[in-house]
Amino acid sequence: MKKITLIFTLFIYGFSFGQDSKAKTLLDEVSIKAKSYDNISIDFKYVLDNSSENIKQETRGDVVMQGDKYRLNILGATRIFDGKTLYSISPDDEEVTISSDVSNEDSNITPSKMLSFYEEGYTYKMDIIQDVKGRKIQYVKLIPIDSNSEIKNVLLGIDAQTKHIYNLIEIGKNGTKTTLTVNSFKTNEPISKSLFTFDKNKYKDYYINKLD
């Protein structure tokens, strides 16, 4: 689950250590556009592949974001962040983990950062352009400044017309390739006022694990 939230934070923020002015301009356009929406709803496909270890995992998920708040559903679990407290709900374990200290979560990459993660920690440059079902996808290659990072590089695919994220491909130094592809990107949808609120009455039989 932490791996997925790490990918997500890579999916929404930015960097101030750029070397390629064209790449920086494009990334800034993506970030500005994402921040202009009242809310964003994304359905996505997540694939983790490491052929040397014979590991391949595919799953689908969805996330709704509004400012710093988000509700993420993936791998049968739900994560709700109301802006102050993070609730991780696991039906399989019948457990809810509650934490108000999300500093570690923030450093790992969270959905609330998913569209503008490039502001610090990476150098970046323009990469290839691909035609995907008639859409021009411009890739930007991101390389961690920290030489001890477990990430070798990240390819961020951006729809050249809409300036929306199409996909993100992370290559790990251990050979693991993680791909997150957006199937549906909707903005300013009508959402329930309680979407980012944890209702404890729905989980009376769950074990409540408060970390702080």
211 has pLDDT over 50: yes
Question: What are the residues whose beta carbons fall under 8 Å from the beta carbon of 118, sequence distance 6 or more?
Answer: 13, 14, 15, 18, 27, 31, 124, 140, 142, 156
| CATH number corresponding to 17-210 | 2.50.20.10
pLDDT score of 136 more than 70:
yes
Q: For the whole prediction, is pTM greater than 0.75? A: yes
Q: State residue 144's pLDDT score.
A: 87
pLDDT at residue 158, as a whole number: 93
| CA 53 – CA 186 distance, rounded (Å) | 36
Tell me the percentage of the chain whose pLDDT exceeds 70.
82
- Whether 14 has a pLDDT exceeding 50, the answer reads no
pLDDT-based confidence at 53, cuts 50/70/90? confident
Residue 209 has pLDDT above 90, yes or no: yes
**Cα within 13 Å of Cα(132), Cβ side:** 17
Which is more confidently placed, 16 or 7? Answer: 7
User: Which of the residue ranges 13-22, 111-120, 158-167 would you say has the lowest mean pLDDT?
Assistant: 13-22
Which residues, 6 or more positions from 170, have their beta carbon under 8 angstroms from its beta carbon? 7, 10, 151, 153, 154, 177, 178, 179
Q: Give the pLDDT confidence score for residue 32 in this predicted structure.
A: 87
Asked if pLDDT for residue 18 goes beyond 50, the answer is no
The pair phi, psi for residue 31, each rounded to 5°, is: -65, -45
Please give the structure tokens belonging to residue 97. 């983990």
- Angle (CA) 97 118 72, round 5°: 30
**In the predicted model, is pLDDT for residue 156 greater than 70?**
yes
| Cβ–Cβ < 8 Å for 83, 68 | yes
The answer to whether residues 60 and 45 touch, using CB atoms and an 8 Å cutoff, is yes
Residue boundaries of the structural domains of the chain: 17-210
What pLDDT, in 10s, does the model give residues 108-128? Answer: 445 655 555 666 788 889 999
Separation of alpha carbons 31 and 46, rounded Å: 22
Which tokens hold the place of 126?
A: 């323009």
Torsion of CA 10, 18, 177, 184, to 10 degrees: 50
Per-residue pLDDT tens for 177-187? 989 899 999 99
Q: What is the pLDDT of residue 149?
A: 87
